[in-house]
């Protein structure tokens, strides 16, 4: 029911269908992009921005060569990711610094976006870099907003300039700037009251503050959970105040944060900071590429793509999948699979990266034991060629022989064979007859829930 | 009688003042939406895939939520087949009625009250949505209905939160029960419940700190507050109101679900509808979680709170279309 599947799981189905072609056709791309579109909309990216974006990706994707080690779906994802990172701003953007201090930063935004808290965090962040910030309490409207800033200032030992709530914010800003100059502060951060972008009177007030102190940075504070309206808000603030950057707040929540993309698209202002918690030091420089994959909900799909590029033999992988689906999977294949996995790196990390696995809580607890893996390998190696191809042959006396040959116990051999069997069944279910992973995934989840382990 | 005629009549029976205020507050909100919608219905000559796609976009742009939008469109397609509708214009009332049906409160509109003695309402939600402000407004609203009200400063975490509630207490003339900043919120609630009982207060409004629904320790803390209230007054809290900011997108669904699990949410308050956001996500929440909207916030002043009314909501959302319907009726 929750709309939180993420693109990875959505694209699994598309992956399957797209496999094994030379060039991406328009149909291939359309199918994949339909899922991309829904994923972006579910992430709250504005629908107009989505439309433009999808059109752009489509143009780039059609006719793309699909390399051997890639599935066509991965090619599409790769393009989507690159375009998205590009749109997000490519590289990190720094805070402006005025050669003639103080550098003046004005914080603006809707009610409840997190301006006051972010002002405090920014002061702390500057302080850590040996600056001497001054905070100015310009929110004279919300009850106890000044008090809130004063408490924050006390906590981090940054002075707060206030004239109470009876003096206009314009005058407060003006005097705060004087104060900063006189007392050798190199940064002035002006907190302002939250307001609606359509509130002419209050927006006019901000323009006057702006004229009075000529800020070097006008930062729009945006709640990462904002929906479709983010474009209207950002566009309007930008028009009236010529923003220089954006701060995205509440990113420690479970929102995908598509608003980031919307805001970037309509203002073309860089997102300079990400706020990730209620603690005063929970402010980080913004990383566009991380945000891109968060919006898509792809987990580490991207690194899997990178690794796939480096390692996996596509022909072998396709053959393996065919075997899994038909439950023809043998002990030989199993050893092969282990070899491939080893090439890719630690097993639990790989499992994390597989589409759909990231969502499974049980997977996280499944520590893969390297020693166990070596013993498993020994068991398989003690089987005859015939036995490896036909697991059904393994009766009691054969099992005893294998145990002796591999230096393990009969119990261990039994357990492994049982697990191998379960795995074959599970894989068969997982793949289903149609090759769709949908229902099978639930089964696999149940099995892990009950403490099922991979046989190594 | 047409659907809209019925709707109009039923609204006329309500006090003009409230409707007027509601529509005024929502008109800014809905004007873009309405013009888009009516434009779509009048401009398009055929009900085809392009039509549905555009309608889908309009609904999505109101934050209705992808799943619910797809479902609404599916239902609409069905109606088109069953009723053999061919003109887009005829589809307007069908769509409105679908949303109306979803949003109408079967239960009584008003907040649940205690049969005997103290009524307690608990307010929960993520940071900055308007919990404290809504409590101030609701205190004013209840007082004007002749009730005696008390407020509990359960946000002991955010800097200045207690002082903020105290200012509201002075504004509306209501006593605030508090402890010092950093105190255990469950202990504040315990105090407040007993103070309210001792003073024979009608309604106790409990503020809590904003928290993101994925922080399990903070959600457990909220659960403790909830249980303390439950323990002290067996049928309380009589309502647990999740405050939602209308600008919130799909994440509101996750909020409703997880706050529901930890604090037994019984209804929603949709704030900041005086902005340009449409708050359509409440349609998805109603659809998927069955939670009704009880109040809407239309500004920052103490009387900017109105009981939610599905008919008014849809009326305001489609007011322009209404007029056209009326013309067509004649
Ligand atoms: N325009 C508008 N602003 C509102 C509305 N409701 C609340 N606000 C404003 O939103 C801001 C945050 O409101 P609060 O009541 O402090 O929100 P909260 O949920 O208590 O916040 P925390 O306690 O910090 O989590 C304040 O500036 C309010 O004035 C509304 O309906 N419309
Ligand atoms: Mg509050």
CATH number for position B143: 3.40.50.300
How high is the pLDDT of residue A10?
60
Q: What's the gap in Å between the CA of B106 and the closest CA on chain A?
A: 23
The reply to whether A148 touches chain B by the CB within 8 Å rule is yes
> What is the DSSP-derived secondary structure letter of residue A69?
T
Interface confidence, given as ipTM, is 0.84
How high is the pLDDT of residue A357?
43
Choose from A260-264, A369-373, B10-14 the range with maximum mean pLDDT: A260-264
Partner residues linked to A223 by β-bridges: A249
Of the CA atoms within 13 Å of residue B276, those in its CB half-sphere come to 19
Residue A442: band (very low, low, confident or very high) from pLDDT cuts 50, 70, 90:
very low
Residue B5 falls within a domain, yes or no? no
The reply to whether A124 touches chain B by the CB within 8 Å rule is no
| A291 and A334 inside one domain | no
Residue B319 falls within a domain, yes or no? yes
The number of beta carbons lying within 10 Å of the beta carbon of residue B1 is: 9
Q: What's the gap in Å between the CA of A416 and the closest CA on chain B?
A: 38
Of the CA atoms within 13 Å of residue B187, those in its CB half-sphere come to 8
Per-residue pLDDT in tens (0 to 9) along chain B, 330 residues:
343 344 444 444 443 444 444 444 444 444 444 455 566 666 777 888 888 888 888 889 889 888 899 999 999 999 999 988 888 888 878 888 888 888 876 665 678 988 888 999 999 999 999 999 999 999 999 999 999 999 999 999 999 999 999 999 999 999 999 999 999 999 999 999 999 999 999 999 999 999 999 998 999 999 999 999 999 998 989 999 999 999 999 999 999 999 999 999 999 999 998 888 888 899 999 989 989 999 999 999 999 999 987 877 766 555 433 333 333 333
Using CA coordinates, name the residue in chain A closest to B66: A42
CA distance A268 to A255: 22
Are A28 and A18 contacting, i.e. CB atoms less than 8 angstroms apart?
yes
The reply to whether B20 touches chain A by the CB within 8 Å rule is no
Which tokens hold the place of B313?
């909501």
Are B224 and B105 contacting, i.e. CB atoms less than 8 angstroms apart?
no
Partner residues linked to A107 by β-bridges: A219
Scanning A194-253 for CB atoms below 8 A from B yields: 196-198, 223, 225-230, 232-233, 250, 252-253
- For residue B117, give Cα distances in angstroms to A278, B200, B265, B290: 38, 7, 22, 29
Are B148 and B196 contacting, i.e. CB atoms less than 8 angstroms apart?
no
Which tokens hold the place of A157?
């030992």
Number of domains present in the structure of chain A: 3
A254 to chain B: which residues are within 8 Å by CB?
212-214, 251, 254
> What is the DSSP-derived secondary structure letter of residue B227?
H
| B128 and B232 inside one domain | yes
| B163 and B93 inside one domain | no
CATH number of the domain to which B30 belongs: 1.20.120.140
| Residue whose CA lies nearest to ligand 1 atom number 13 | B130
Q: Rounded to 5 degrees, what angle do the CA atoms A173, A175, A101 make?
A: 80
Residue A110: band (very low, low, confident or very high) from pLDDT cuts 50, 70, 90:
very high
Question: A41 and B60: CB-CB below 8 Å?
Answer: yes
| B264 and B295 inside one domain | yes
User: How confident is the model over A395-408, as a mean pLDDT?
Assistant: 91
Residue B112 falls within a domain, yes or no? no
pLDDT: is A290 or A68 the higher one? A290
| Order of strands, sheet of A271-275, starting from the edge strand that comes earlier in the sequence | A160-161, A133-138, A187-192, A103-108, A217-223, A245-249, A271-275, A283-285
Residue A430 falls within a domain, yes or no? yes
Are A190 and A102 contacting, i.e. CB atoms less than 8 angstroms apart?
no
Using the mean position of ligand 2's atoms as its centre, give its distance from the Cα of residue A40 in Å: 31
- Of A87, A122, A155, the residue that ends a domain is A87
Mutate to test the interface with A, among B128, B136, B215, B259 (most CBs of A within 10 A): B128
CATH number of the domain to which A320 belongs: 1.10.260.30
Left if phi > 0, otherwise alpha if psi is -120 to 50, otherwise beta: which for A20?
Answer: left
**Would strands A271-275 and A283-285 be described as parallel, antiparallel, or unpaired?**
antiparallel
How high is the pLDDT of residue A105?
98
Range of the domain at A7: 2-87
Length of chain B: 330
State whether residue A219 is helix, strand or coil. Answer: strand
Q: What's the gap in Å between the CA of A327 and the closest CA on chain B?
A: 36
| B124 and B64 inside one domain | no
Choose from A210-224, A304-318, B51-65, B282-296 the range with maximum mean pLDDT: A210-224
CB within 8 Å of B123: residues ≥ 6 apart: B131, B134, B135, B205, B206, B207, B208, B240, B241, B243, B269
| A246 and A273 inside one domain | yes
Residue B38 falls within a domain, yes or no? yes
- Of A303, A324, A352, the residue that ends a domain is A303
Where does ligand 1 bind, in terms of residues with CB under 6 Å?
A: A 111-112, 142, 194, 196; B 125, 127-133, 155, 158, 161, 210, 243, 271-272, 274, 297-300, 304
How high is the pLDDT of residue A333?
75
Residue B83 falls within a domain, yes or no? yes
CATH number of the domain to which A33 belongs: 1.20.120.140
User: How confident is the model over A157-181, as a mean pLDDT?
Assistant: 97
| A283 and A324 inside one domain | no
- Of A53, A87, A121, the residue that ends a domain is A87
Of the candidates A3, A47, A230, the beta carbon closest to that of B253 is on A3
Using the mean position of ligand 1's atoms as its centre, give its distance from the Cα of residue B131 in Å: 6
| A167 and A216 inside one domain | yes
How high is the pLDDT of residue A15?
52
How high is the pLDDT of residue B318?
54
How high is the pLDDT of residue A304?
54
Task: State phi, psi for A310 to the nearest 5 degrees.
Answer: -80, -35
| A109 and A225 inside one domain | yes
| A70 and A111 inside one domain | no
Of the candidates A1, A2, A114, the beta carbon closest to that of B128 is on A114
Residue B2 falls within a domain, yes or no? no
- The sign of the dihedral angle between the CA atoms of A340, A344, A348, A351 is negative
How high is the pLDDT of residue A342?
58
| B304 and B318 inside one domain | no
User: How confident is the model over A357-377, as a mean pLDDT?
Assistant: 55
The reply to whether B59 touches chain A by the CB within 8 Å rule is no
| B288 and B201 inside one domain | yes
Residue A97 falls within a domain, yes or no? no
Partner residues linked to B307 by β-bridges: B295
Residue B3 falls within a domain, yes or no? no
| Residue whose CA lies nearest to ligand 1 atom number 10 | A111
A3 has a pLDDT exceeding 50:
no
Using the mean position of ligand 2's atoms as its centre, give its distance from the Cα of residue B222 in Å: 14
Scanning B220-239 for CB atoms below 8 A from A yields: none
Task: State phi, psi for B236 to the nearest 5 degrees.
Answer: -100, 165
| A227 and A277 inside one domain | yes
CATH number of the domain to which A140 belongs: 3.40.50.300
| B156 and B172 inside one domain | yes
A73 has a pLDDT exceeding 90:
no
Question: A44 and B249: CB-CB below 8 Å?
Answer: yes
| A129 and A237 inside one domain | yes
Choose from A56-70, A83-97, A204-218, A308-322 the range with maximum mean pLDDT: A204-218
Residue A96 falls within a domain, yes or no? no
State whether residue A218 is helix, strand or coil. Answer: strand
Residues A413-426 have pLDDT tens digits of 998 888 788 777 76
| A19 and A168 inside one domain | no
Length of chain A: 456
The reply to whether B71 touches chain A by the CB within 8 Å rule is no
How high is the pLDDT of residue A223?
96
| A47 and A109 inside one domain | no
How high is the pLDDT of residue A165?
95
Range of the domain at B73: 17-106+314-329
| A321 and A287 inside one domain | no
Residue A310: band (very low, low, confident or very high) from pLDDT cuts 50, 70, 90:
low
| Residue whose CA lies nearest to ligand 1 atom number 26 | A111
| A65 and A153 inside one domain | no
| B89 and B137 inside one domain | no
| B22 and B79 inside one domain | yes
| B58 and B125 inside one domain | no
Helical segments of A24-159, H only: 26-42, 47-61, 72-88, 115-128, 145-156
Residue B6 falls within a domain, yes or no? no
CA distance B271 to B278: 11
Tally A–B CB contacts below 8 A. 150
| Order of strands, sheet of B305-307, starting from the edge strand that comes earlier in the sequence | B175-177, B149-152, B203-206, B119-124, B239-245, B267-271, B293-297, B305-307
| B87 and B146 inside one domain | no
A355 has a pLDDT exceeding 80:
no
User: How confident is the model over A345-366, as a mean pLDDT?
Assistant: 43
Number of domains present in the structure of chain B: 2
| B75 and B175 inside one domain | no
């Amino acid at each position: 029911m929750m709309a939180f599947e993420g693109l990875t799981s959505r694209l699994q189905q598309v992956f399957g269908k797209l496999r094994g072609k030379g060039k991406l056709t328009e149909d291939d791309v359309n199918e994949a992009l339909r899922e991309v579109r829904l994923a972006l909309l579910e992430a709250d990216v504005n629908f107009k921005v989505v439309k433009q974006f999808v059109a752009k990706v489509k143009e780039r994707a059609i006719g793309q060569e699909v390399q051997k080690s890639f599935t066509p779906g991965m090619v599409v994802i790769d393009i989507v990711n690159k375009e998205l990172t590009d749109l997000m701003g490519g590289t990190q953007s720094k805070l402006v610094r005025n050669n003639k201090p103080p550098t003046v930063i004005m914080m603006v935004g809707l009610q409840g976006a997190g301006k006051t808290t972010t002002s405090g965090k920014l002061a702390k962040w500057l302080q850590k870099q040996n600056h001497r910030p001054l905070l100015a309490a310009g929110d004279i409207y919300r009850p106890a907003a000044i008090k809130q800033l004063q408490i924050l200032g006390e906590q981090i030992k940054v002075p707060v300039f206030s004239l109470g709530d009876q003096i206009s914010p314009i005058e407060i800003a003006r005097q705060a700037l004087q104060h900063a100059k006189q007392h050798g502060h190199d940064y002035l951060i002006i907190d302002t009251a939250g307001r609606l972008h359509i509130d002419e009177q209050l927006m006019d007030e901000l323009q006057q503050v702006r004229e009075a102190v000529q800020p070097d940075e006008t930062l729009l504070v945006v709640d990462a959970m904002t929906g479709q309206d983010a474009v209207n808000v950002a566009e309007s603030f930008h028009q009236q105040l010529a923003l220089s950057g954006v701060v995205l707040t509440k990113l420690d929540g479970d929102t995908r944060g598509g608003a980031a993309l919307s805001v970037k698209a309509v203002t073309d202002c860089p997102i300079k900071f990400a706020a990730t918690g209620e603690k005063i030091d929970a402010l980080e420089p913004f990383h566009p590429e991380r945000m891109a994959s968060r919006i898509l909900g792809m987990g580490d799909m991207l690194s899997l793509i990178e690794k796939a590029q480096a390692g996996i033999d596509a022909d072998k992988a396709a053959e393996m999948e065919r075997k899994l689906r038909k439950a023809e999977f043998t002990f030989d294949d199993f050893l092969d699979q282990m070899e491939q996995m080893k090439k890719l790196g630690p097993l639990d990390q790989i499992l994390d990266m597989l589409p759909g696995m990231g969502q499974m809580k049980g997977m996280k607890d499944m520590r893969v034991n390297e020693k166990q893996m070596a013993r498993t390998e020994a068991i398989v190696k003690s089987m005859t060629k015939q036995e490896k191809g036909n697991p059904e042959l393994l009766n009691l006396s054969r099992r005893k022989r294998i145990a002796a040959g591999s230096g393990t116990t009969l119990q261990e051999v039994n357990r492994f064979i049982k697990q191998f069997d379960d795995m074959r069944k599970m894989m068969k279910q997982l793949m289903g007859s149609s090759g769709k992973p949908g229902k099978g995934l639930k089964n696999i989840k149940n099995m892990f829930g009950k403490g099922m382990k991979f046989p190594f | 009688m047409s659907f809209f005629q019925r709707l109009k009549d039923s609204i006329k029976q309500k006090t003009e003042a409230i409707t007027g205020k509601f529509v005024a507050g929502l008109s800014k909100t809905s004007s873009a939406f309405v013009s888009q919608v009516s434009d779509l219905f009048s401009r398009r000559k055929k009900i085809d895939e392009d039509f549905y796609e555009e309608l889908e976009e309009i609904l999505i742009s109101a934050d209705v939520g992808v799943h619910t939008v797809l479902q609404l469109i599916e239902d609409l397609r069905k109606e088109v087949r069953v009723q053999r509708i061919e003109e887009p214009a005829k589809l307007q009332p069908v769509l409105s009625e679908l949303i109306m049906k979803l949003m109408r409160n079967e239960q009584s509109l008003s907040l649940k009250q205690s049969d005997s003695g103290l009524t307690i309402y608990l307010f929960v939600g993520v940071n900055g949505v308007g919990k404290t402000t809504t409590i101030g407004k609701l205190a004013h609203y209840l007082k004007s209905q002749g009730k005696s009200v008390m407020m509990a400063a359960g946000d002991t975490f955010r800097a200045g939160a207690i002082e903020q509630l105290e200012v509201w207490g002075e504004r509306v003339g209501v006593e605030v029960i508090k402890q010092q900043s950093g105190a255990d919120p469950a202990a504040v609630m315990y105090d407040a419940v007993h103070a309210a009982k001792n003073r024979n207060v009608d309604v106790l409004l409990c503020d809590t700190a904003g928290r993101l629904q994925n922080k399990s320790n903070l959600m457990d803390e909220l659960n403790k507050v909830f249980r303390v209230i439950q323990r002290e007054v067996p049928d309380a809290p009589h309502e647990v109101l999740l405050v939602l900011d209308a600008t919130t997108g799909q994440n509101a669904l996750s909020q409703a679900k997880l706050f529901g699990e930890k604090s037994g949410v019984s209804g929603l308050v949709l704030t900041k509808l005086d902005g340009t956001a449409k708050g359509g996500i409440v349609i998805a929440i109603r659809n998927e979680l069955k939670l009704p909207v009880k109040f809407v916030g239309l500004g920052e002043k103490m009387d900017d709170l109105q009981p939610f009314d599905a008919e008014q909501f849809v009326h305001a959302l489609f007011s322009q279309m209404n007029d056209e319907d009326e013309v067509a009726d004649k």
